[in-house]
Amino acid sequence: MEDLVQLANNMAIYNKTISEEGLEELKPSQRVKQKIIAFSGAARVGKDTFAKSIIKQLNLHIPNLVCEKYAFAQGVREELQEFIKYNYNIDAWTEDDKEKEIIRPLLIAHGNARRSLSNNKYWVDFLCKKLNLPNAADVAVISDLRFATTKDDESFWVKNNKGLHIHLRRYEEKNGVKKIVKPTISFEKQNESKLAKCANLVVDIKNFDNQKDLQIEVESICEKIIMDNFSWLSK
């Protein structure tokens, strides 16, 4: 996890650049007051696990902060929930792996259609409406940052709001050689290297045989991230 030691310095450089130039590029409705922590990475890499864990660590170390998990795909599911339930008798928020596979193509197609018809801004604007509500959280932890193709995409919105973008990758290790597990979904393949390049931090995490060992590793990494950015988070 040697990349972690670079996080504090990267954030200092990053915040200086964005505070001087980035916010001017955003329209007022896309500016948010929250501290943003956003996770990107391929399907099943652990984005949701990391999001939940970093909220847990934030609650432990900075208990006065109100933290909440958000997702760009939340809007996709909200818009398709009635259709999916009526036609397939599946909940759009299902946790069943087989049901997820059935509805995933539909969710992706709808999400991409909305993006294409709005110059990639639709889901960013959708989330901003939630973040700009009076009772919104102090820290927004986003579990599904997926695009870094144009200046209007999610990754650049996070940067322009002085947020922290963390890209996750899984790896397998055999005979002391680490091999990164590559994405299998087409749009993830197209965005993987771009997201890693845009991120403040790239975290490589080992494929563990059991969930307990994975959870211990994730919580350790999340605690390190918070400690390295304590002053930024507690302002």
Does the residue 89 lie in any domain?
no
129 contacts 30 by C-beta, under 8 angstroms = no
Hey, how many other C-beta atoms are within 10 angstroms of the C-beta on 17?
11
Residue 52's domain is classified under what CATH number? 3.40.50
Among 171, 203, 232, residue whose Cα is nearest residue 53: 203
For residue 81, being part of any structural domain is answered with no
Residue 165 in any domain: the answer is: yes
8 in any annotated domain: yes
pLDDT band at 18 (very low <50, low <70, confident <90, very high): very low
Q: Look at the pTM and tell me if it is higher than 0.75.
A: yes
Q: What is the pLDDT of residues 129-168, one digit of tens each?
A: 999 888 889 999 999 999 888 888 899 899 888 899 999 9
Domain contains 110: no
Question: With 70 as the cut, is the pLDDT of residue 15 above it?
Answer: no
Residue 132's domain comprises 2-15+30-74+124-233
Lowest mean pLDDT among 87-91, 191-195, 224-228, 230-234: 230-234
Give the total number of structural domains in the chain: 1
Q: Select from 59, 80, 141 the least CA-distant residue to 90.
A: 80
Residue 217 lies in a domain: yes
| 176-196: pLDDT as tens digits | 888 888 888 888 888 899 999
Q: Taking the alpha carbons of 88, 93, 97, 101 in that order, is the dihedral positive or negative?
A: positive
Residue 183 and residue 189 in contact, taking contact as beta carbons nearer than 8 Å: yes
| pLDDT for res 185 | 82
Q: Which of 198, 199, 202 is nearest to 169 (CA)?
A: 202
Tell me if 79 is assigned to some domain.
no
What are the residues facing 38 on neighbouring strands? 142, 165
Tell me what the mean pLDDT of segment 220-229 comes to.
90
Look at residue 173 and tell me if it is in a domain: yes
H-assigned helices in 170-210: 186-198
